[in-house]
Amino acid sequence: MPFAEIIGHNSAKMLLKSAIVQNRLAHAYLFHGDDRIGKRLLALRLAQALLCESLPIDHEPDACGTCRACRQVETRTHPDFLVIEPDREQANPQIKIELIRDIEQQMIYRPLIGDRKICL
């Protein structure tokens, strides 16, 4: 299970799983902390859990990790999963305003496959 692959972040994982089970997800989550501690991975696994097409056998609020949606999120090719990243080719990497405007425009429309869109 994808959440189980994450080392640490136990309180964050419990909070997110509880929100999924109770269907009380916030419209946004802010993952913050030191560099290279797994914030992006945790956010990615949350996206997989929310977009997963098959409920795992143990009915945990987690992604199966093997369905088409889980694989597409992993490779960042899912049409309902948008990623904002700075332009690494620049000397001073930053997120361009054009990218934000494009994401805003894409978020207006309904999801193509699932029942939600996710932006990381």
Q: Do 31 and 42 form a contact (C-beta atoms < 8 A)? A: yes
Measured CA to CA, the distance from residue 74 to residue 45 in angstroms comes to 9
The CA-atom distances, in angstroms, between 1 and each of 29, 50, 55, 97, 113 are 21, 13, 11, 36, 22
72-100 tens-digit pLDDT: 999 999 999 999 988 778 888 899 899 99
Task: Check whether 36 has a pLDDT greater than 80.
Answer: yes
Measured CA to CA, the distance from residue 72 to residue 80 in angstroms comes to 10
Average pLDDT over residues 49-78: 87
| Domains of the chain, first to last | 3-119 (3.40.50.300)
> What is the pLDDT at residue 60?
76
Q: What global pTM score does this model have? A: 0.87
